[in-house]
Structure formats: structure tokens, C-alpha cells
Amino acid sequence: MQQLRAALAVPAIVSIFLLAAVGLQGQSREHHILVSVLDPDDAPVGGLEISDFFIDEDGNSREILSVSQAGAGRQIALLVDTSQAATRSLVEIRNGLTTFVEQMSAGNQISIITFGGPPRIQVPSTRETSRLTDGIGNLFALPDQAAYLLDALNQTA
């Protein structure tokens, strides 16, 4: 049961050394995986070590090189559909974005990028909740514009 909970709440970075061949090169690659761990009361579990984790890939056990707590703060880009198709949903979109920003802004840099037509930076990356909520309040659907999500993803990445 505790191993099942290893996919839940205290962010930890687990570096994994995959011994499997990659493509035709036969090279090994290191991967970083973010996991969260909760106790039965849904409280974060700290002090975890390599022996507390295991990786099974297609029936093969993989080596874990290190376990560490994730650093604070992340870069989050919110991609928002402001195309004509979003017109009827804009109130719900604003409400959802506001809730997300209120819960996630502490310690994180958040930007808002719209993609009704070509992608546009509505709010540059910031930790200031007020700037983000002001930007959310200024979201409007653009008539005669289509949603170009793939372009927005490509340009944001």
C-alpha cells in the first residue's frame, strides 16, 4: 500500500538510470521523475531514500541513482483558448484559471498565453497573483479566430 502511495504528494525527484538500450545506439540514459508520497492521513512523507522506491519497466527492474526533494518553484505556462469557439465557456475558463492561480502561485512563476489566433503572451511570467488575476479578467474570445493549440505548444515549449 505504501508503495502505491509513492505516486502521490511530497515532490521528490528520482533519478533513474535506464539500462535498456535506446534505439540502435545501445546507450543508457538517465531520467528524472517527479513523485509524491503521502501517509495514510494524506500528509507528506519526508526522509525517503533509494530503498523506499523501485522502478519496474516492462518486467525489468531499473536502477535508481538518487532521491532528493524537488526544489521550490516551477515555471508554469497556462495556455488559454480565446478563439471564437471559447465564447460560451469564457466565464468557466476565467473561474478555473482564477482558482488554479490562487492555489498554485505561491513559489511558482506563472504566465498566461492565449491562442485564439496566433499565440500571445497575455501575462508574462510572474509570481504576483494580482497581475495574473487582472490578466484573467482581461481574457476575451476573439471573433473569427480559430484555436491554434499546436502552435501555442510549440512556441511555449
pTM for the predicted model, two decimal places: 0.56
pLDDT attached to residue 21: 36
Q: How many distinct structural domains can be found in the chain?
A: 2
Query: From edge to edge, which strands make up the β-sheet containing 60-69?
Result: 27-35, 12-22, 60-69, 55-57
**Do 51 and 17 fall within a single domain?**
yes
**Do 85 and 42 fall within a single domain?**
no
Angle between helices 90-104 and 129-137 (to 10 degrees): 180
**Do 147 and 87 fall within a single domain?**
yes
**Do 21 and 85 fall within a single domain?**
no
**Do 60 and 82 fall within a single domain?**
no
Domain housing 20: 4-69
**Do 84 and 50 fall within a single domain?**
no
Domain boundary among the residues 14, 35, 69 is at: 69
pLDDT per position as a tens digit, 76-93: 999 999 999 999 999 999
- pLDDT level of residue 97 (50, 70, 90 thresholds): very high
**Do 92 and 151 fall within a single domain?**
yes
pLDDT per position as a tens digit, 121-149: 999 999 999 999 999 999 999 898 888 78
CATH for 102: 3.40.50.410
Pair 27, 21: CB distance under 8 Å: yes
* 3-state DSSP assignment of residue 145: coil
**Do 85 and 151 fall within a single domain?**
yes
Domain boundary among the residues 38, 69, 100 is at: 69
3-state secondary structure string across 42-74: CCECCCCCHHHCCEEECCEEEEEEEEEECCCCC
Helix runs in 105-148, H state only: 129-137
Domain boundary among the residues 51, 69, 87 is at: 69
pLDDT per position as a tens digit, 4-58: 444 443 444 443 333 333 444 455 677 777 788 889 998 888 888 999 998 888 8
